[in-house]
C-alpha cells in the first residue's frame, strides 16, 4: 500500500487554522499535495475546476468517489470505514480501539493516503471523513458519544503468495523463448491464411463461431488459443475489417511490414499489444458467449489487471510459480471492491495468456515479463515503437533464424528452426505446412508446386532455390515432380475471347475436344492449335485443371500472366480492442498547469477581485479601451489575465488566459483550464483583470 504524509503543514499551527470544510482543506494544501491529489484522481482534471470550491464539489460526486474507492486496498477501506463510524475529528492513534492489534505506523500511513485523496479532510493531527463518503459506504450518521464497535479482522498487509514450483531461471528463460517463437509463428500462420481466404465479418460485427473453429483446426490449436491470437493481432493493428459489400477480416498493410521484421521485434509488438489491449478472449468460455472482435469481449480495467498480476509475480523469488488461489487473494486485497467472478477470470486468463506468449515460463515471470512491465503504453507516437528493452530481453531467448532446410526423400522439407523472412516466403509458396513444433515440416505436392508455377516461377527457378537453400541434395522424386510439372505447365494456355485455348500440340487439342469433362465449355476449334469458348477464362481455367491439363493463363497479346495467391488487405483503421481502454496518467506539465489555474482562480476571485472587502466575487466590467490597454500590456509582459467572456447566448463565464497576440478584433490566448490555444472575439470580452499571485 502506497501512501505519503501530508507535506507543507505546520502541525503547531493546526489548532489555530480552524479548517471547517473540505474546500478550506484543499485551499490550505501546498502545490505538491494538490499535484498528488490530481495524479491520484485524474477525473478531477478535466476540465480544470474554476477554484477550490468547484474542486471540492467534483471530488464529492458519486461518480468520482466510486472511482477512487474502487482503487483503494482493503486496509485503506477498513481505516476509512473506521473513520466513517466516528463522530467528529480523530487522530489515527485514536482508531486503535476500533482496529485492535494494528501498528500505529500502519494507521498513520493509511490516514495520510486517504487525506491525500480527499476522502478525509483537515489534519495531520486529526482527520474527519467526508460526509459524501460516509453516505456512499452505506453507513448512517454516527450518534454523538456512541462507542464504536471494534472492526473484525483488520488486514494492514496483503496476504502472502506461496509457490507451487520453483525452476532454475535458465530453464524458465528457455521455455519462455520457445513459447514466444511459437506464438509469433502461429500469428503469422493465422494472418497468412486469412490473407488468401478471409472469414466474413458478421452482419452484427465480429467473427463467426464457425470461422473461429475452422481457423483453430487449420492452425492445430484449440479455440481459446486461437481466440487469443485473433485478438492480439487485432490489437497490434495487423488485422482489420475489409470494407465493401463482402466485408471480411483480413490483414492490414502493416502486416506486410511486420512480417519482414526480426523475430524479436515481431514478438515485442505482439506482447505489447496483448499487455495494453482491452479485449479479454477468455470470455469466450462464458455464457452468453460473445463474438470475438466486438465490444462484447472488451472489459474496462483489463490492462490494469494484467499489470497487477505481473507486478505480483515480479515480487516473488526468481523462478517461482505462484499458488493461484493465494495469488488471487493477494490481488483481491489490493482492490476488494472490484472482486468478482469476472475479476478471478481475468487473473487466471492473464496467467494462461502470459504463458502462451512467453511472458512467463513454467508459471514463473521471465525476463520478458520484467521488461514488459517497464514499457510505457502511453508514450508518444513514433517513440520506441516496439520497446527496445523488450526486444533486448527476448532476443537471447529466441532460436536463431536459419537460412536453410533439410529436404527429405518423402517429399518434405524440415526447417530446423524459424526461417529467415525471404526463405519463409518462398517455402510458403512452394510447399504446405504439415506440422509445427521444434521444427517445421513442409510438404511438396503437385498443388503446391503448381502454385509457384502459376505465380510466374519456372521449374528451373524452383530447383535452383531448393538446391541453394537445402543442406541435403534434392531428392530425385521431387526433382522429377518439379520437372514434369514445369514441362506440362503452360502447355495449355487460356485467354479471353470470351476465352480461348491455344496449344502447340494438335494431339492435345484433339484430346480436349473429345474429353467429356470439357464438353460443357462449348469448345470450338478455329485452327489446328486454337480453340475458343463462350465460358469465362476463370471457368475455363478451373475446368481444365480439374481435367488434369495444367493450363497457364496468358494475356490478349500472348504474354503469360503470373497468378499469385490472392492477398486481401483491409484499411488500417480503428477496430474493437485495438487500443488501450483506459487513458494513462496525466503528464507532469498538465498537472502543474492545473495547480496554477486553481491557485489563480482562487486568488483572483477570492482576493484580487473582491480586494478582501467581501465583494460578490464577479469581475468588474471594463470599457473597450481599458480592455485593449490591459491586454496589450499582458501580451508584452507575457502575463496571465482573468477575463469575463460572453457566449452567443449572452452567458458570461470567467477564465484564466495567457494572451499571445491581438489582431483584427480578436485575441489569441492560451486557456489555462482547458490547456488549449483559443481565439476570443474582443467585443465579447466583458472584463479583464491582470493576475497577481501571492
- CA dist 30 and 387 (Å) reads 37
- pLDDT score for 179: 92
pLDDT over threshold 60, residue 447: yes
pLDDT over threshold 70, residue 572: no
Please report which confidence band the pLDDT of residue 427 belongs to, taking 50, 70 and 90 as the band edges. Answer: confident
Cβ contact 659:682 at 8 Å: no
- pLDDT score for 92: 78
**From the DSSP assignment, how many helices (H) and strands (E) are in the chain?**
26, 22
- pLDDT score for 348: 92
pLDDT over threshold 90, residue 229: yes
Please report which confidence band the pLDDT of residue 139 belongs to, taking 50, 70 and 90 as the band edges. Answer: low
Q: What is the pTM of this model?
A: 0.68
- CA dist 525 and 348 (Å) reads 69
Tens digit of each residue's pLDDT (9 = 90 or more) over 603-635: 544 444 444 333 334 567 888 888 888 888 888
- pLDDT score for 585: 57
Q: What angle do CA 78, 80, 81 make, to 5 degrees?
A: 65
Report the SS3 class of residue 681.
Answer: strand
- pLDDT score for 560: 77
Q: Average pLDDT of 237-255? A: 80
Q: Strands 406-407 and 364-365, how do they pair? A: unpaired
Q: First CA to last CA across the chain, in angstroms? A: 36
More confident residue, 372 or 561: 372
Tens digit of each residue's pLDDT (9 = 90 or more) over 639-665: 788 888 887 777 778 888 888 888 878
pLDDT over threshold 80, residue 458: yes
pLDDT over threshold 80, residue 393: yes
Tens digit of each residue's pLDDT (9 = 90 or more) over 175-218: 999 899 889 989 998 998 898 888 988 887 889 899 999 999 98
pLDDT over threshold 90, residue 233: yes
Cβ contact 667:631 at 8 Å: yes
Please report which confidence band the pLDDT of residue 671 belongs to, taking 50, 70 and 90 as the band edges. Answer: confident
Tens digit of each residue's pLDDT (9 = 90 or more) over 340-356: 888 899 999 999 999 99
Please report which confidence band the pLDDT of residue 13 belongs to, taking 50, 70 and 90 as the band edges. Answer: very low
H or E element, residue 239:
strand 239-242
Other C-beta atoms within 10 Å of 59: how many?
A: 24
pLDDT over threshold 50, residue 432: yes
Please report which confidence band the pLDDT of residue 596 belongs to, taking 50, 70 and 90 as the band edges. Answer: confident
pLDDT over threshold 60, residue 72: yes
Extents of the domains making up the chain: 11-136, 175-397, 406-446+458-483, 491-553, 588-690
H or E element, residue 407:
strand 406-407
Please report which confidence band the pLDDT of residue 588 belongs to, taking 50, 70 and 90 as the band edges. Answer: low
pLDDT over threshold 80, residue 523: yes
Nearest Cα to Cα of residue 404 among 493, 359, 345, 471? 471
pLDDT over threshold 70, residue 318: yes
Q: Average pLDDT of 214-243? A: 89
Comparing 212-216, 290-294, 434-438, 520-524, which segment has the lowest mean pLDDT? 434-438
Cell numbers representing residue 191 in the block = 494472418
**Residue 218 class from Cβ within 10 Å (0-12 exposed, 13-18 middle, 19+ buried)?**
middle
- CA dist 311 and 306 (Å) reads 9
Residues 6+ apart with CB under 8 A from 259: 188, 191, 266, 421
Q: In sequence order, what DSSP letters do the residues of 413-435 get, joined into one string?
A: EEESSPBPHHHHHHHHHH-EEEE
- What share of the chain has pLDDT > 90, as a percent? 21
- pLDDT score for 358: 93
- CA dist 526 and 535 (Å) reads 16
Cβ contact 336:351 at 8 Å: no
Cβ contact 522:539 at 8 Å: no
Residues 6+ apart with CB under 8 A from 251: 191, 194, 195, 238, 239, 240, 568, 569, 570
- pLDDT score for 571: 61
- CA dist 666 and 657 (Å) reads 14
Tens digit of each residue's pLDDT (9 = 90 or more) over 469-511: 999 999 999 999 999 988 888 888 776 677 888 888 888 888 8
Cβ contact 292:212 at 8 Å: yes
Mean pLDDT across the chain, nearest whole number? 81
Tens digit of each residue's pLDDT (9 = 90 or more) over 83-133: 888 777 787 777 777 777 788 888 889 989 999 999 998 866 788 888 888
CA distances from 435 to 221, 369, 384, 448 (A): 12, 29, 35, 16
More confident residue, 610 or 79: 79
H or E element, residue 113:
helix 104-116
Residues 6+ apart with CB under 8 A from 548: none
Exposure class string for 364-384: b at 16+ Cβ within 10 A, else e: bbbbbbbbbbebeeeeeeeee
Please report which confidence band the pLDDT of residue 310 belongs to, taking 50, 70 and 90 as the band edges. Answer: very high
pLDDT over threshold 60, residue 513: yes
Beta bridge partners of 524: 532
Cell numbers representing residue 484 in the block = 514434369
Cβ contact 331:344 at 8 Å: no
In words, the CATH class of domain 588-690 is: mainly beta
Exposure class string for 120-152: b at 16+ Cβ within 10 A, else e: bbbbbebbbbbebbbebbeeeebeeeeebeebe
**Residue 75 class from Cβ within 10 Å (0-12 exposed, 13-18 middle, 19+ buried)?**
buried
Amino acid at each position: 500500500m502506497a501512501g505519503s504524509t501530508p507535506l507543507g503543514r505546520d502541525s503547531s499551527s493546526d489548532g489555530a487554522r480552524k479548517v471547517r470544510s473540505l474546500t478550506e482543506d484543499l485551499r490550505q494544501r501546498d502545490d505538491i499535495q494538490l499535484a498528488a491529489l490530481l495524479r491520484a484522481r485524474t477525473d478531477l482534471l478535466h476540465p480544470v475546476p474554476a477554484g477550490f470550491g468547484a474542486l471540492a464539489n467534483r471530488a464529492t460526486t458519486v461518480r468520482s468517489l466510486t472511482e477512487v474507492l474502487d482503487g483503494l486496498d482493503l486496509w485503506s477501506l477498513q481505516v476509512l470505514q473506521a473513520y466513517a463510524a466516528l463522530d467528529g475529528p480523530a487522530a489515527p492513534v485514536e482508531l486503535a480501539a476500533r482496529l485492535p492489534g494494528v501498528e500505529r505506523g500502519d494507521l498513520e500511513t493509511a490516514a495520510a493516503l486517504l487525506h491525500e485523496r480527499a476522502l478525509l479532510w483537515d489534519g495531520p493531527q486529526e482527520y474527519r471523513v467526508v460526509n459524501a463518503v460516509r453516505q456512499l459506504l452505506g453507513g448512517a450518521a454516527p450518534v454523538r458519544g456512541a462507542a464504536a464497535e471494534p472492526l473484525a479482522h483488520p488486514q494492514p498487509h496483503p496476504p502472502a503468495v506461496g509457490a507451487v514450483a520453483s525452476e532454475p531461471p535458465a530453464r524458465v528463460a528457455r521455455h519462455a523463448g520457445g513459447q514466444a517463437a511459437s506464438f509469433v509463428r502461429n500469428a503469422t500462420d493465422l494472418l497468412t491464411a486469412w490473407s488468401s481466404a478471409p472469414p466474413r465479418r458478421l452482419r452484427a460485427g465480429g467473427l463467426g463461431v464457425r470461422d473461429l473453429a475452422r481457423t483453430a483446426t487449420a492452425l492445430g490449436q484449440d479455440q481459446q488459443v486461437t481466440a487469443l491470437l485473433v485478438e492480439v493481432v487485432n490489437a497490434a493493428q495487423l488485422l482489420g475489417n475489409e470494407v465493401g459489400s463482402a466485408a471480411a477480416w483480413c490483414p492490414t498493410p502493416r502486416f506486410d511490414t511486420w512480417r519482414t521484421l526480426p523475430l524479436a521485434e515481431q514478438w515485442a509488438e505482439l506482447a505489447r499489444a496483448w499487455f495494453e489491449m482491452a479485449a479479454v478472449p477468455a470470455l469466450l468460455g462464458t455464457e452468453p458467449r460473445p463474438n470475438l472482435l466486438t465490444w462484447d469481449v472488451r472489459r474496462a480495467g483489463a490492462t490494469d489487471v494484467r499489470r497487477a498480476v505481473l507486478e505480483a509475480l515480479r515480487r516473488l523469488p526468481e523462478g517461482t510459480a505462484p499458488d493461484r488461489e493465494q495469488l488471487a487473494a493477494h490481488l483481491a486485497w489490493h482492490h476488494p471492491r472490484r472482486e468478482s467472478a469476472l475479476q478471478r477470470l481475468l487473473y487466471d486468463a492473464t496467467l494462461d495468456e502470459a504463458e502462451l506468449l512467453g511472458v512467463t515460463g513454467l508459471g514463473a515471470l521471465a525476463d520478458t515479463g520484467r521488461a514488459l512491465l517497464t514499457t510505457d503504453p502511453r508514450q508518444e507516437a513514433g517513440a520506441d515503437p516496439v520497446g527496445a528493452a523488450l526486444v533486448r530481453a527476448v532476443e537471447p531467448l529466441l532460436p536463431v533464424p536459419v537460412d536453410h532446410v533439410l529436404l527429405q526423400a518423402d517429399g518434405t522439407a524440415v526447417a530446423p528452426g524459424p526461417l529467415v523472412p525471404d526463405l519463409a516466403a518462398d517455402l510458403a509458396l512452394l510447399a504446405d505446412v504439415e506440422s509445427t513444433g521444434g521444427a517445421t515440416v513442409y510438404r511438396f505436392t503437385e498443388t503446391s508446386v503448381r502454385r509457384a508455377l502459376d505465380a510466374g516461377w519456372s521449374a528451373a527457378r524452383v530447383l535452383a532455390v531448393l538446391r541453394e537453400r537445402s543442406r541435403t541434395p534434392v531428392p530425385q522424386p521431387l526433382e522429377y515432380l518439379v520437372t514434369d510439372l514445369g514441362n506440362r505447365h503452360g502447355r495449355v494456355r487460356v485467354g479471353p475471347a470470351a476465352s480461348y485455348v491455344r496449344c502447340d500440340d494438335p494431339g492435345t487439342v484433339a484430346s480436349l475436344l473429345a474429353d467429356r469433362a470439357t464438353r460443357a465449355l462449348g469448345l470450338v476449334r478455329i485452327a489446328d492449335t486454337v480453340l475458343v469458348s463462350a465460358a469465362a477464362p476463370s471457368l475455363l481455367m478451373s475446368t481444365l485443371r480439374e481435367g488434369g491439363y495444367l493450363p497457364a493463363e496468358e494475356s490478349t497479346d500472348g504474354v503469360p500472366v503470373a497468378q499469385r495467391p490472392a492477398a486481401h488487405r483491409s484499411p488500417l483503421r480503428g477496430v474493437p480492442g485495438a487500443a488501450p481502454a483506459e487513458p494513462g496518467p496525466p503528464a507532469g506539465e498538465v498537472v502543474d498547469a492545473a495547480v496554477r489555474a486553481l491557485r489563480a482562480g482562487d486568488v483572483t476571485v477570492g482576493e484580487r477581485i473582491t480586494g478582501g472587502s467581501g465583494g460578490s466575487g464577479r469581475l468588474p466590467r471594463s470599457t473597450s479601451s481599458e480592455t485593449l490597454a490591459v491586454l496589450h500590456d499582458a501580451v508584452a509582459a507575457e502575463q496571465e489575465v482573468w477575463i469575463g467572456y460572453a457566449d452567443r447566448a449572452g452567458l458570461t463565464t470567467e477564465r484564466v488566459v495567457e494572451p499571445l497576440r491581438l489582431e483584427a478584433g480578436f485575441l489569441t490566448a492560451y486557456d489555462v483550464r482547458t490547456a488549449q490555444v483559443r481565439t476570443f472575439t474582443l467585443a465579447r470580452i466583458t472584463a479583464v483583470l491582470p493576475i497577481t499571485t501571492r
